[in-house]
Amino acid sequence: MSQDSSGRIVAGVREWITSASPGARVPSNRALMAEYGASPVTVQKAMQQLVRLGLVESRPGAGTFVRSARAPRSVDYGWQTAALGTAPAGLVGLSSTQRTVAPDAIGMHSGYPAVDLLPGRLVRQALVRAARSDAALTRSPAAGLPELQAWFAGELASAAPVGITPASARDALIISGSQSGLSSIFRAVVGVGQPLLIESPTYWGALLAAAQAGVTLVPVSSGAHGPDPEDVERAFAQTGARAFYAQPTFANPTGAHWPPATREAVLETVRRHGAFLIEDDWAHDLGIDADPRPIAASDDDGHVVYLRSLTKSASPALRVAAVIARGPARDRILADRAAESMYVSGLLQAAALDVVTQPAWRTHLRGFREHLRARRDLLIASLATHAPSAHVESVPAGGLNLWVRLPDGTDVLQVVRECEVRGLIIAPGSEWFPAEPSGAYVRLNYANADPSHFAEAAAILGAVLEES
Ligand SMILES: Cc1ncc(COP(=O)(O)O)c(C=O)c1O
């Protein structure tokens, strides 16, 4: 009874406030008791609720009054300039790939696939089941849900050649997206001030994580078939580095897919130098003309620290990935993760496990491959027709992007800006280089924008290039 009456009083006073002036006196408790036939306690409850809602303020001894709207005050954060000092490397602004753009723009800048390419129904059903399970209310172990650890380890083990001891479930640590794994690995395995070999170009997020971890980058040139193993050997020998971050499979941004000889030679090199290969298998589920063959599957001495994410093939919202590492490196990475975030939401892990263990997951991956193929080929054909001076140096065998070379001397940032004015959003290639770019590049994502706009996108780029 009192709950109902108090609700009615709140509603009544709210309505009265809409026509009252700020600072007006609210009818007294006695008047409200009479009007609503309510007890003093009920009226008091209603008043407390109105105060909590910020609609009235009570002045002891004077009564209750309609709250006056506060004039917005202009704020001054100037003091923070001195308090914060200069920004640490890599902590200024966001990558162009993370921008939110107008809904009618053709977005080819993002690093994730369009929603309609994702297994929507599978993910939604998995989330509902996870919400009904204990995972909704319990804390996950720091290393992750044991069943999900086992799934990631089992997947890598299934690619292991005969004679290699496969990674165990314990070696697989569940992390919240592989970006956070990169930061942890660089901190825990490389360390502040230590050299880290890195392909050039490479994923901008790895450059950012490395800068934040304070490691010293040593770029190694990498092309459509990955780096020259002799360059890797030389860089290890010259710098004494103990780690090499690389994407041997469908690299972002180039789409590079290392041939078997390069894979073997680089693994041999890291072994010889007592070093780690940090293998970012970000596009494991994004193969088009080839299947992934992780180098980590051929290593049982703990030389390869392996990263594998589900964010681009299951859902970016699940934000689940794994790092597979062995020996003390595994323990250090786990300790870093625990210090950073303690554990990953068990609810999201349970949903991710549900998704990847459904028979429909395999069906999704097969369909995904065909969609990516059709989109990739359509964008290549559109560029050839409408932007012939934009050169796709090599057709990526997997991944989400075309790495496009523009004519030498092109002002890339100017081209990107001009495209944006005409409704096409693309990413300047400079963000993928650890030092000066080796050429004029842009990255075009073919997995996000509606393919019916590819011809228009290519025509915009073609026109801008012609005019520039
Ligand atoms: C090469 C590479 N590694 C890691 C990531 C991070 O992915 P996530 O944190 O979504 O798992 C990305 C995202 O684009 C990427 O391209």
pLDDT at position 86 is 85
Q: Is the pLDDT of residue 151 over 80?
A: yes
CA distance 146 to 137: 17
Architecture label for domain 120-357: 3-Layer(aba) Sandwich (3.40)
Q: Is the pLDDT of residue 1 over 70?
A: no
Contacts of residue 19, Cβ cutoff 8 Å, sequence gap at least 6: none
Written as one letter, the residue type at 300 is D
Residue to substitute in 173, 178, 183, 448 for testing ligand 1 pocket (most ligand atoms within 8 angstroms of CB): 178
Domain locations in the chain? 5-66, 96-111+362-467, 120-357
Contact (CB, 8 A) for 123 and 315: yes
Cα of 419 to ligand 1 centre, how many Å? 25
CA distance 312 to 371: 14
Tens digit of pLDDT for each residue in 22-61?
A: 888 999 888 899 999 999 999 999 998 888 888 888 888 8
Which runs of consecutive H residues, i.e. helices, occur in 194-326? 204-213, 229-239, 260-272
pLDDT average, residue stretch 323-335:
98
User: What's the topology of domain 96-111+362-467?
Assistant: Aspartate Aminotransferase, domain 1 (3.90.1150)
Helices 454-467 and 359-386 cross at an angle (nearest 10°) of 40
At 219, is the secondary structure helix, strand, or coil? strand
Which residue, among 172, 183, 168, 179, has the nearest Cα to 141 in the 3D structure? Answer: 172
CA distance 11 to 46: 9
Atom of ligand 1 nearest to the CA of 179: 9
pLDDT at position 346 is 97
Q: Is the pLDDT of residue 162 over 90?
A: yes
The response to whether residue 247 sits with its C-beta less than 6 Å from ligand 1 reads yes
CA distance 444 to 379: 9
CATH class of the structural domain 5-66: mainly alpha
CA distance 336 to 185: 8
As given in the structure block, the two tokens for residue 375 are: 């989109």
Written as one letter, the residue type at 403 is W
Which phi-psi region, left, alpha or beta, contains residue 391 (left: φ > 0; alpha: ψ -120 to 50)? Answer: beta
The response to whether residue 315 sits with its C-beta less than 6 Å from ligand 1 reads no
Instruction: Share the mean pLDDT of the chain.
Output: 94
Tens digit of pLDDT for each residue in 401-431?
A: 999 999 999 999 999 999 999 999 999 999 9
Which phi-psi region, left, alpha or beta, contains residue 40 (left: φ > 0; alpha: ψ -120 to 50)? Answer: alpha
Domains 96-111+362-467 and 120-357 equal at CATH topology level: no
The response to whether residue 282 sits with its C-beta less than 6 Å from ligand 1 reads yes
DSSP string, 50-112: HHHTTSEEEETTTEEEEPPPPPPPPP--THHHHHH-SPPTT-SS--GGG----TTSEE---SS
Cα of 361 to ligand 1 centre, how many Å? 21
Tens digit of pLDDT for each residue in 64-117?
A: 899 876 666 788 999 998 998 988 776 667 777 877 777 789 999 998 999 999
Tens digit of pLDDT for each residue in 51-63?
A: 888 888 888 888 8
pLDDT at position 105 is 92
pLDDT average, residue stretch 192-221:
96
pLDDT at position 2 is 45
pLDDT band at 3 (very low <50, low <70, confident <90, very high): low
The pTM of this model reads 0.85
pLDDT at position 272 is 97
pLDDT at position 392 is 97
Contact (CB, 8 A) for 176 and 321: yes
Number of neighbouring beta carbons within 10 Å of residue 116: 8
Contact (CB, 8 A) for 405 and 391: yes
pLDDT at position 5 is 81
